[in-house]
Amino acid sequence: MASSVFEEYETIDLFASWDSKRQPVVQLNNLKKWFPVSQQSLLFSKVVANIKAVDGVQLFVNKGETLGLVGESGCGKSTTARVTVKLEEPTEGSVYFKGVDIFQPMKKEEELVIKRQLQMVFQDPYSSLNPRKMVLDIIKEPYDIHFPDMLYEEKESRVLEILAKVGLEDYHALRYPHEFSGGQRQRIGIARALAIHPEVVLLDEPVSALDVSVQAQILNLLHDLQKELNLTFMFIAHDLSVIKHVSDRVAVMYLGKIMELSPTGELFRKTAHPYTVSLLSAIPRPDPRIKMDRILLEGDVPSPIDPPPGCPFNPRCWKAQEICSKKTPTLDEIRPGHYCACFFPEI
């Protein structure tokens, strides 16, 4: 097992049938998460519509890689992440972690084992840490939950060890979150997620609240930790240059669906989906010499309550034809490892 550190505490082996060489660590199958919108009448409330935050996501993450998940606000990236770590129940579809369906009925202990190995780092380093707790207690909490039998001294020494790994000092353990800067807080959030040696870490916009000079420090830290601890990352961001920097493969989301999934290099060189093309052309480059032929999209992202029929991108797409508003394109493999959901992909 990957986390030999905790072998003495681990009693259940859930993942006996999992083959790390052949099977992905995380697999999302036709995942849907709809949030009901209800209207209150005199006595009863009735569901009048659904916000289709995630609407049929098909995705897999291989061991040791970084999968970048990119999209604009409201496209369902964060909801996908929250379902993947079992913070939300899916409306439809399933999530397999190491070959085990995490939403099947299971014992409490089994669920804890799964949750221990799926951890998350949140976007806002200001609101994701409890202001009334010392850093020591914040990072110790995962041990309290997952290893209640562990001795206090051991927990403490493990906290100091992980603090050193994320570049903080011993004395920081006795301070409160407000005493830290944004970048340091994000380090604490990362330490908390890594404390119990997860297999997969979901990073939900971990650097978007930080200044660029601090952002670079955190990106480097994540890179080093991934190498050292053999972690698998699912990295969510809206900034394509960050995504390009960190990811091995990239998934582009739009209105709850995956539009394109491809190895990073190929996505940027041989972009297939019109939405990805327009997304790439929209980024202002920090170099006055680069003159872009920009594709300006018309209008806004449609509401996920009432997404357009067919391909969700068709009302804004310059390549759209009749079929696009009638049939929903499937995510097909157009080149080895390169998937695209479009009837008329760029070749």
Partner 1 sequence: MNEKRPLLEIQDIYTQFFTESGVVEALDGVSFDVTAGEPVGIVGESGCGKTVTGHSILRILPKNGKTVKGKIIYKGINLLDLAHNQMRSIRGKEIAMIFQDPMTSLNPIFRVDDQMTEVISLHRKVNKKEALGIAIEMLESVGISDAEKRIHDYPHQFSGGMRQRILIARALALQPSLLIADEPTTALDVTIQAQVLEIIKEMQKKLGLAMMLITHNLGVVAEITKRVHIFYGGRVVESGPTEDVFINPQHPYTRALFDSIPSLEKDKTRLDTIPGNVPRLINPPKGCRFHPRCKYATEICSRERPEDVWLGPKRRVACHHYEELDLDVDEETMRERVKIKEEV
Of 11, 40, 73, 104, the one binding partner 1 (CB under 8 A) is: 73
Task: Provide, rounded to whole angstroms, the least separation between the CB of residue 231 and partner 1.
Answer: 16
Buried/exposed 117-152: b ≥16 CB within 10 Å, e otherwise:
bbbbbbbebeebbeeeebbbebbbbbbeebbeebee
Q: For partner 1, give the closer residue by CB, 93 or 183.
A: 183
* Candidate ranges 11-19, 22-30, 197-205, 285-293; the one touching partner 1 (CB under 8 A): 285-293
Of 121, 278, 310, 315, the one binding partner 1 (CB under 8 A) is: 278
| Site pattern 214..253 for partner 1 (x: CB under 8 A) | xxxx-xx--x--------------x-xxx-xxx-------
Interaction between residue 186 and partner 1 (CB under 8 A): no
Interaction between residue 183 and partner 1 (CB under 8 A): yes
* Candidate ranges 27-35, 140-148, 169-177, 287-295; the one touching partner 1 (CB under 8 A): 287-295
Contacts of 155 (CB under 8 A, 6+ apart): 140, 143, 144, 147
Interaction between residue 319 and partner 1 (CB under 8 A): no
| Half-sphere CA count of 13, side-chain side, radius 13 A | 9
* Candidate ranges 21-29, 86-94, 107-115, 286-294; the one touching partner 1 (CB under 8 A): 286-294
Residue 226 CA to residue 232 CA, distance in Å, equals 7
The amino acid present at 44, given as its one-letter code, is F
Q: What is the dihedral of CA 325, 29, 81, 208, to 10 degrees?
A: -50
Q: For partner 1, give the closer residue by CB, 62 or 281.
A: 281
Question: Residue 59 corresponds to which tokens in the numbers above?
Answer: 């995705």
Interaction between residue 284 and partner 1 (CB under 8 A): yes
Count of residues interacting with partner 1 (CB under 8 A): 42
* Candidate ranges 34-42, 111-119, 297-305, 331-339; the one touching partner 1 (CB under 8 A): 297-305
Question: Residue 183 corresponds to which tokens in the numbers above?
Answer: 């970048």
Beta bridge partners of 119: 201
Q: For partner 1, give the closer residue by CB, 46 or 178.
A: 178
Continuous H helices in the chain: 77-84, 108-117, 135-146, 152-165, 182-194, 212-229, 240-246, 264-269, 274-282
Per DSSP (E only), the strands in the chain are 26-40, 45-61, 66-70, 92-97, 100-101, 118-121, 200-204, 232-237, 249-254, 257-263, 332-335, 338-340
* Candidate ranges 103-111, 146-154, 195-203, 276-284; the one touching partner 1 (CB under 8 A): 276-284
Q: Note the residues at the interface with partner 1 (CB under 8 A).
A: 72-73, 181, 183-184, 211-217, 219-220, 223, 238, 240-242, 244-246, 265, 268, 278-290, 294, 296-297, 300-301
